[in-house]
Chains A and B, each alone.
Chain A
Amino acid sequence: MNEFIQHVINGLSLGCIYALVAIGYTLVFGVLSLINFAHGEMVMMGAYFGMYFAKHFKLAEEPGISGLLLTLVATMIVTGCIGWCVEKFAYRPLKNAPRINLLITAVGVSLLFQFSGQLIFGSAPQFFPQLVEFNLDTWKIGELQFNPLQITVLGIALVLTVVLQTLVFKTRTGRGMRAVSFNRDLASLLGIPATRVISLTFVVGAALAGAAGVLVGLVYPKIDPLMGSLLGLKSFVAAVVGGIGNLSGAVLGALLLGLSEEFVVGYLAPTYRDAIAFAFLIIILLWRPSGLLGVNRIEKV
């Protein structure tokens, strides 16, 4: 029984990591209908920037929550700027091109980050400084072990989801985003600055990715230039399972994916872990093509 509960705890905390990356994915898709394959690489950039930032200001010497927040904010600003540049130079010129072109460009951007990352940061993995420290023994209930870091991550993921949800559904900008997502041309005609809204969406998405990068680095303190690829793909799966474009769906999908991976490893065949993620995806999509919480969009003639 203890083992089972421990698996549940592990699965949820793994799901939190996926959730953090998945909400950024789903936000950009919701507004632009673009599978932004470069999102995982943005996570990687965030992790590296956070590492250099923390090392430069020696934040790991005095671990504390203020150092973490400082790094998070700085990283979000920087990746937000990178996101803005990517949108302006790589995606915006393509706004009238077919979707597959945008997709290929996204793959191109992701390859560019991966390979220039290997040149600039070196391809050996790096250690991510421990910005906060906990005494693990105090986070124990009987045999069950909690990781306070991962609870922090879960907290941050939930807060970010609520903030985003408010941004999208309660603010003027959010109304603009939804309008652009519904019909870009019509939105422009109605006086919504579509270009600016799209740009903003990207900046927010990239900033989220940056924050995710720092938190992933904190929980799994090994970062390398190719780390974004698999993480991005799995989070994307989570976003699709939850219903891509739906923020709470992304969190739900991520937690489900985390749990299912955990149980496959714990009780079935550990080596099939990656296959399960995708088999899960295929089954859900065939059964409910728009995901668990997604709304089925009817293609127009």
Chain B
Amino acid sequence: MFRQNPSRLTFALAAVLALSFSACKKKESTETSAASSSTILIGEVGSLTGSEATFGISTHNGIDLALKQINAAGGIGGKQVQVVTIDNQSKNDETALATSKLITQNHVVAVLGEVASSRSLVMAPIAQQNQVPMISPSSTNPKVTQVGDYIFRTSFIDPFQGEVMARFASENLKAKKLAILKDVKSDYSMGLSQFFIEQLKKSGGEIVIEQSYAAGDLDFKSQLTAIRAKSPDAIFVPGYYTEVGLVARQARELGMKMPLLGGDGWDSPKLYEIGGKAIENSYFSNHYSHEDQSPRVQEFVKNYKAAYGATPDGLAAMGFDAMMVLAEALKKTPDLDHKKLRDAIAATKDHPGVTGMLTLNSERNPIKPAVVLKVENNQSKFVATISPSAAPTK
């Protein structure tokens, strides 16, 4: 029953609702900016719920641990540091709103995030346009830092990690025929396998079959059966531990005995639980090894276990390092000027991080080594360190 032309009102309503809301939002913004003078505010956008929450939470814990240590040591320049964390439910749109809220409402001096490269690519343009430095703890897609000069990361990038595992496969394992099983839904997995293939071909290896799955799948037997028919020396599975454990089980069920290889997405105590005996004798590259005996790493592992009751995975270590790199740069910029802060982060050199000595290059990516770990007796055992020196600069 349409009594009259509803268009005018519909539209007027939209405009009024939107305007009244933005008006009250504006008031709020002045309040928060006043509060930030006594503390240093840092923003964090993380996937604390949703499909990638398990990674977001590890990263968040790492950041949180670093924050507690900084504040316990008296803060930065006498000021306490506060991290405003916003959950984006592992969604792109929420990420965009969260980032602009942090920058324009909370007036943070810098933003930390995101785990997934796709959502870092949503954050980066916003941070760049507002000239607020952003550090991604673990986005490995090279495109993230290419967005602009305010975007940094503390993890190595896909090309390097893909190359590490390809070199390891051909040099250490002497594997000639490799199969690939990648996660088609994950940009990380796609990137890793691309660079793995490039490097493997250079070292004379051969990819006998490429198969894929989508994150969230439970059954991988069809892919594995197809792979089995080509009898490769090893299978590269650059996915997340959430699926890799099941992949390993089903591979062994099908009677496949060759080792599986993977990247930092494997790193979680849950891998050994889900994979059980099946994942033994597999190898993956990582940012650090928690059994590294250097006091820096041991102290981090001890503190993390005390705080969260779990062995820290690579993502936690990188969250910790990202926060520490930012804190170091903040110490050099007492006036909290965004431009100066950016320059200070860019000048990071030989930062003693948990994940190794960290130096940022001109592309705002770190130069640091990767480690290769072997799964043995439900634990990861250190096998080799592969340095980026031989890596071609890309």
Contacts and interface: CB of A to CB of B under 8 A. Distances in A.
Contacts of B276: 130
Interface stretch (A3-11, A62-70, A91-99): A3-11
Contacts of B253: 136, 145, 147
A222 B245 contact: yes
B222 interface: yes
A266 B222 contact: yes
Most buried by B among A7, A222, A266: A222
A98 B218 CA distance: 36
A64 B106 CA distance: 57
Interface in A265-297: 265-266, 270-271, 273-274
A261 B211 CA distance: 14
Nearest to B51: A226
Interface string B209-230: 0011110111101110110110
A265 B53 CA distance: 28
Contacts of B243: 222
B93 interface: no
Contacts of B274: 125, 127, 221-222
A222 B225 contact: no
B216 A230 contact: yes
A3 B226 CA distance: 7
Q: Is the interface of B mostly helix, strand, loop or mixed?
A: helix
16 contacts: A6-B254, A10-B219, A10-B221, A11-B222, A14-B221, A124-B268, A125-B242, A125-B270, A143-B255, A221-B249, A222-B274, A227-B218, A262-B221, A263-B222, A265-B211, A270-B211
A118 interface: yes
A228 to B, nearest CB: 11
Given A3-B226, A118-B53, A125-B274, 11 more contacts: A115-B49, A123-B53, A124-B53, A124-B270, A125-B54, A127-B270, A127-B273, A143-B255, A227-B216, A262-B222, A271-B212
Interface string A1-33: 001001100110110010000000000000000
CB-based closest 9 A-B pairs? A123-B53, A265-B222, A124-B54, A127-B273, A220-B218, A10-B221, A262-B222, A271-B184, A14-B219
A240 to B, nearest CB: 20
B246 interface: yes
Contacts of A10: 219, 221-222, 225
A128 to B, nearest CB: 9
Interface of A: 3, 6-7, 10-11, 13-14, 17, 115, 118, 123-127, 130, 136, 140, 143, 145, 147, 216, 219-222, 224, 226-227, 230-231, 261-263, 265-266, 270-271, 273-274
Contact of A265 (B50, B226, B246, B273): B226
Q: Is the interface of A mostly helix, strand, loop or mixed?
A: helix
Nearest to B209: A270
Interface in B228-270: 228-229, 242-243, 245-246, 249, 252-255, 268, 270
Contacts of A143: 255
B308 to A, nearest CB: 12
B57 interface: yes
B57 A123 contact: yes
A239 to B, nearest CB: 18
B218 A231 contact: yes
Most buried by B among A10, A118, A224, A230: A10
A270 B217 CA distance: 12
Contacts of A125: 54, 242, 270, 274
Nearest to B184: A271
Most buried by B among A123, A130, A266: A123
Interface range, B side: 35 or more
B255 A123 contact: no
A266 B226 contact: yes
A226 B51 CA distance: 7
Nearest to A265: B222
A231 B228 CA distance: 26
B114 to A, nearest CB: 16
B187 to A, nearest CB: 14
B246 A222 contact: yes
Contacts of A220: 218-219, 246
Contacts of A123: 49-50, 53-54, 57
B280 to A, nearest CB: 15
A227 B216 CA distance: 7
Nearest to A224: B242
Nearest to B242: A125
A224 B213 CA distance: 18
Given A140-B255, A221-B274, A226-B216, A3 B221 contact: no
Contacts of B214: 271, 273-274
Contacts of A263: 222
Contacts of B211: 265, 270
A101 B213 CA distance: 35
B61 to A, nearest CB: 12
Nearest to A4: B225
Contacts of A11: 222
B379 to A, nearest CB: 16
Contacts of A221: 245-246, 249, 274
A143 B246 CA distance: 21
Contacts of A7: 222, 225
A227 to B, nearest CB: 8
Contacts of B270: 124-127
A40 B257 CA distance: 34
Interface string B141-167: 000000000000000000000000000
A272 B147 CA distance: 31
B49 A118 contact: yes
Interface in B80-138: none
A22 B218 CA distance: 16
Contacts of A226: 50-51, 216
A18 to B, nearest CB: 10
A219 B51 CA distance: 21
Contacts of B51: 226
Contacts of B255: 136, 140, 143, 145
